[in-house]
Each structure stands twice: as structure tokens, then as C-alpha cells.
């Protein structure tokens, strides 16, 4: 069962069956009509909003939902949480791509590349000095594989990095320690899932604890940040810049102040989308589908009470 607005590359070949399995393709407006009798659902288009919740009344045999994204916040609602339906995600596909994107943003700020490009467009020749990153401190919020890979790359270029997760474990600080780190932070990087605990975590109070030269980078989920508070801090100059790949509302509305602030880098939710990413997503789903058919443990099973995969060990299909 696939929910999608377009056909993923190579999917038909990877899920070829012996004729005993029916595969239905549905767009958002047809999902409710396609769900009755379906026991598995692939959510290919992760920008679908609340369509699964809105189609919940049509669910009668569903046992497993797989999403072609790392985040699962749009799939976890009260009825889903209370059910015995298993959710798996695409954890592991985007780690390196997103970490490289964050490193690129750090370098773009340190080397003042946005201003260089603006001045090039205007034909302006203005010499200036830029920053080094080897003596800078980054706080990476999100103790999962994306955050861990990001921390690894930032350390590789000489940065001091604190990795913060929900709970303390080797190499990861507990969320309660975040506020104590902010005063010495040059780059605050958000790579956390969206949960009840993380929604709105970057608010006026937290932003006020950052030094004035700090930059905020968000590749996690838009609602991690209270957007109006960030805009206010940027306009007041109490935060030096923000590089945002995700937003409270996507696409970012044309009248958003974020488009025009000179110290903001806006990208359209693309930090993990490198050449070949769709094939990797299809490969992960195809492997899990084989496991599901064979009654074997699935990869990337999400803890629905926490909103993310708590470990990497496969869990049994039910």
C-alpha cells in the first residue's frame, strides 16, 4: 500500500510479488478510499499534513505504517498511539547528507558567503575579513544518528561540540543541561525530532541566553522554534543569524519576514535530499517489506510514546 503524489523510482521492481499481494497507489484525496482492507501503508510524501489522521475512520486492517522520512510527528496522534499499528521510519538514510549540509551552513556563515554572493550580483568589490571555525563551539540538539553524524563532522574540522539528547548517555548530554551551555555557544544546531517535549523549545527565553554573535541552524522540524521569537531576536540583533531548512508553515509564506532579513539563510526543506536519496528510501522500504512478509523483525521501529526510534535493533512484526 502506497500513499504518494508520485511514483518512487524503482519501487515496482523492488516490491514485486508472487501475485498474492495487492499494491494500491493513492494520492492524499484518495487515501481514505484505498485504506479499507490494507494491512501496510507506505507514506512516501512526508509533506502530506494530517491526511492519515483524517483518513483514520477507513482503517480496518492496518498493521504497519512506514514513512519515507526520519520525522514521524505527523503520523503520531492519539488514535494511532493507542493502536497496535507499528510505525517504522527512514532513519539512517539522511544522516550524512544533513550533517554535510549543516557543515556547509557553518562555513557559509564563517566565510560570509551570502554577502559575497550578494555583492557579486551587484558587481561590488569589497575586501573584508572572515572568521575561522576551529575555535568555535557548537551545541547540537538531537542525540539520534543525524545529530551524532553532525557532531562528528563539526569536530572533524576542529570545532568544540556538545551533543544534547533527551537523556544522558556516553557522548550525549541530557536535555536539562542545554541552558547551561548556551552562553558559550557560537552555533546552535537543531536536529531533534518534533515531540511534545521539543515543540517550541527555542523560544524567547532560550534565544536570550545565547551570545549576540551566535547563529541558529535548524534542520530538524520547523515547530522546534517559536518563529516569531526568532524573528524578533534577529531584528533586534540579539542573535547574529539563522539558517533554516524547516519552518512552522511549509512552504514558507511569501510575506514571512524570514525571506528578507539579511542575516537569514532560507532553504526549502532539502538538507537531506542528495542525488540518489529516493533510491535509498525505496531500498529501505523494500527490505522492511520483505521482513514484514516473512514475519521477521523490522528496522527502525518507532516508539510511539516518544516519537522516535529508541535504538537500532530490529523489532518483531506483529
Query: pLDDT tens digits, residue range 66-99?
Result: 999 999 999 999 999 999 999 999 999 999 999 9
Scanning the structure block, which residue is given the C-alpha cell 541566553?
209
CA distances from 233 to 83, 212, 237 (A): 42, 9, 6
Q: How confident is the model at residue 28 (pLDDT cuts 50, 70, 90)?
A: confident
Is position 162 annotated as part of the catalytic site?
no
CB neighbourhood size of 140 (10 A): 28
Buried b (16+ CB within 10 A) or exposed e, 47-73: ebeebbeebbeebeebebbbbbbbbbb
**Residue 19 pLDDT > 70, yes or no?**
no
Cα gap 171→103, rounded to integer Å: 20
**Residue 16 pLDDT > 90, yes or no?**
no
Is position 152 annotated as part of the catalytic site?
no
For the stretch 251-270, pLDDT in tens is: 999 999 999 999 999 999 99
H runs (alpha helix) in the chain:
11-14, 31-34, 51-54, 78-82, 95-110, 113-121, 145-156, 178-181, 204-209, 227-236, 277-293
Look over the chain and give the mean of its residue pLDDT values, rounded to a whole number: 93
Which residues of the chain form beta strands (DSSP E)?
A: 2-3, 25-26, 40-43, 64-67, 86-88, 137-141, 160-165, 173-174, 187-190, 215-218, 241-244, 264-266
Candidates 79, 176, 177, 250; catalytic one: 250
Candidates 66, 149, 269, 299; catalytic one: 269
CATH fourth-level superfamily of 95-266 = NAD(P)-binding Rossmann-like Domain (3.40.50.720)
Indicate the DSSP class of residue 250: S
What pLDDT does residue 316 have? 43
What pLDDT does residue 2 have? 53
For the stretch 122-169, pLDDT in tens is: 999 999 999 999 999 999 999 999 999 999 999 999 999 999 999 999
Candidates 74, 221, 227, 299; catalytic one: 221
Is position 250 annotated as part of the catalytic site?
yes
- Domains 2-93+275-293 and 95-266 agree in fold: yes
The dotted CATH code for 2-93+275-293 is 3.40.50.720
- Structural domain boundaries in the chain: 2-93+275-293, 95-266
Instruction: Please answer whether residues 241 and 258 qualify as being in contact, where contact means their C-beta atoms are separated by less than 8 angstroms.
Output: no
298 phi/psi in degrees, rounded to 5: -90, 155
Q: How confident is the model at residue 317 (pLDDT cuts 50, 70, 90)?
A: very low
**Residue 4 pLDDT > 60, yes or no?**
no
Amino acid at each position: 500500500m502506497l500513499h504518494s503524489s508520485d511514483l518512487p523510482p524503482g519501487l515496482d521492481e523492488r516490491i514485486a510479488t508472487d501475485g498474492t499481494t495487492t499494491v494500491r497507489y493513492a494520492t492524499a484525496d484518495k487515501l481514505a478510499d484505498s485504506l479499507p482492507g490494507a494491512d501496510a501503508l507506505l507514506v512516501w510524501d512526508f509533506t502530506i499534513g494530517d491526511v492519515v489522521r483524517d483518513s483514520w475512520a477507513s482503517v480496518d486492517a492496518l498493521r504497519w505504517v512506514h514513512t519515507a522520512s526520519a520525522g514521524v510527528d505527523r503520523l503520531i496522534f492519539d488514535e494511532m498511539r493507542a493502536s497496535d499499528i507499528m510505525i517504522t521510519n527512514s532513519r539512517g538514510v539522511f544522516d550524512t547528507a544533513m550533517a554535510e549540509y549543516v557543515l556547509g551552513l557553518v562555513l557559509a556563515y564563517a566565510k560570509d558567503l551570502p554577502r559575497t554572493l550578494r555583492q557579486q550580483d551587484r558587481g561590488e568589490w569589497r575586501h573584508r575579513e572572515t572568521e575561522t571555525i576551529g575555535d568555535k563551539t557548537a551545541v547540537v540538539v538531537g542525540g539520534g544518528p543525524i545529530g551524532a553524524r553532525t557532531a562528528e563532522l563539526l569536530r572533524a574540522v576542529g570545532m568544540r561540540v556538545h551533543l544534547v539528547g533527551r537523556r544522558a548517555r556516553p557522548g550525549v548530554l541530557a536535555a536539562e543541561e542545554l541552558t547551561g551551555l548556551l552562553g558559550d555557544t557560537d552555533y546552535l544546531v537543531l536536529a531533534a525530532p518534533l515531540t511534545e517535549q521539543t515543540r517550541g523549545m527555542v523560544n524567547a527565553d532560550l534565544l536570550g541566553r545565547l551570545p549576540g554573535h551566535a547563529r541558529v541552524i535548524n534542520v530538524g522540524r520547523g515547530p522546534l522554534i517559536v518563529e516569531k521569537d526568532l524573528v524578533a531576536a534577529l531584528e533586534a540583533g540579539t542573535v547574529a543569524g539563522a539558517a533554516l531548512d524547516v519552518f512552522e508553515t511549509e512552504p514558507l509564506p511569501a510575506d514571512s519576514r524570514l525571506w528578507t532579513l539579511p542575516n537569514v539563510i532560507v532553504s526549502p526543506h532539502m538538507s537531506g535530499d542528495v542525488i540518489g536519496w529516493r533510491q535509498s528510501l525505496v531500498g529501505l522500504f523494500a527490505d522492511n517489506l520483505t521482513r514484514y512478509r516473512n514475519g521477521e523483525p523490522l528496522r527502525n521501529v518507532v516508539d510511539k510514546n516518544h516519537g522516535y526510534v529508541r535504538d537500532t535493533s530490529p523489532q518483531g512484526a506483529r
